[in-house]
Amino acid sequence: MIIFENITKKFPLGNVALDNISFSIEDNEFVFLVGPSGAGKTTIIKLILKEIEPTSGSILVDDLDITNKNFSKILTLRRSLGVIFQDFKIIYEKNVFENIALSLLVLEKYSSSQIKEKVREALTVVGLKDKEKVFPIQLSAGELQRVAIARAIAGERKIILADEPTGNLDPKTTWEIMKIFKKIDKEKTIIFATHNADIVNSFQKRVLVLRDGKLIKDLRKGKYEL
């Protein structure tokens, strides 16, 4: 469960990215974050990742108060999160298998046979079973994003943070990617930041609407409304 309580984030130059927002997300819930550029979608994702700190308020992720000054379990936190970015963030010197395996290797608890098994499971989910030895340079944008999704879902990552994952993709590829999200829906908590009204409208999931750092709507089975 993720709980935001009265979160405000001001940047040093004074611009307010988030202004006293509160919400909670249940386990295995699918939530869209929508809003125009600069509304605060990416700031929410960065706060959950603990890449940045809020100016005030508290954030709880699976009962861990990650805003506590004495919080020391950043590795535990990040190991429970799978992150997907618009620009994929794939390592081009590693092949598909190695890119996904990285997500498990950093946990330092799986044997190589377990890693092989889990990587192949993830590759099956994203439909890249036959491309494990291929290098990213040989893949299309849609395939690269599938690799990023496979990396995010491999292992025991319970929360998936997707920051405009279809932003660089054409409509056809976007829907192929969304099919993968449909597959993993209800298995993991998914926070999906997007501009794409079609996706939001077709999924009929919870929608948090942000504008100028404020949470202006929290819609159950919502539609894209600004």
Which residues of the chain form contacts with other proteins (CB under 8 A)?
Answer: 49, 51, 74-81, 83, 89, 91, 93, 102-103, 105-108, 151
Nearer to other proteins among residue 72 and residue 130 (C-beta): 72
Nearer to other proteins among residue 116 and residue 214 (C-beta): 116
Which residue, 33, 58, 56, is CA-closest to 45? 33
Contact assessment for residue 226 and residue 201, using Cβ atoms and an 8 Å cutoff: no
Q: How far is the CB of 79 from other proteins (least distance, A)?
A: 4
Written as six digits, the tokens of 177 are 């990617």
Q: How far is the CB of 99 from other proteins (least distance, A)?
A: 9
Nearer to other proteins among residue 157 and residue 205 (C-beta): 157
Phi-psi region of 137 (alpha: psi -120 to 50; beta: other; left: phi over 0): alpha
Crossing angle between the packed helical segments 112-126 and 96-105, to the nearest 10 degrees:
120
Residues composing the chain: 226
Nearer to other proteins among residue 79 and residue 118 (C-beta): 79
Which residue, 175, 115, 179, is CA-closest to 151? 115
Q: How far is the CB of 103 from other proteins (least distance, A)?
A: 5
Nearer to other proteins among residue 81 and residue 144 (C-beta): 81
3-state helix, strand, coil in the chain (%, to 5): 35, 25, 40
Query: Which residues, including other chains, have CB under 8 Å from residue 113's CB and lie 6 or more apart?
Result: none
Q: How far is the CB of 135 from other proteins (least distance, A)?
A: 13
Nearer to other proteins among residue 9 and residue 79 (C-beta): 79
Q: How far is the CB of 5 from other proteins (least distance, A)?
A: 24
Q: How far is the CB of 15 from other proteins (least distance, A)?
A: 24
- Distance of alpha carbon 99 from alpha carbon 171, whole angstroms: 25
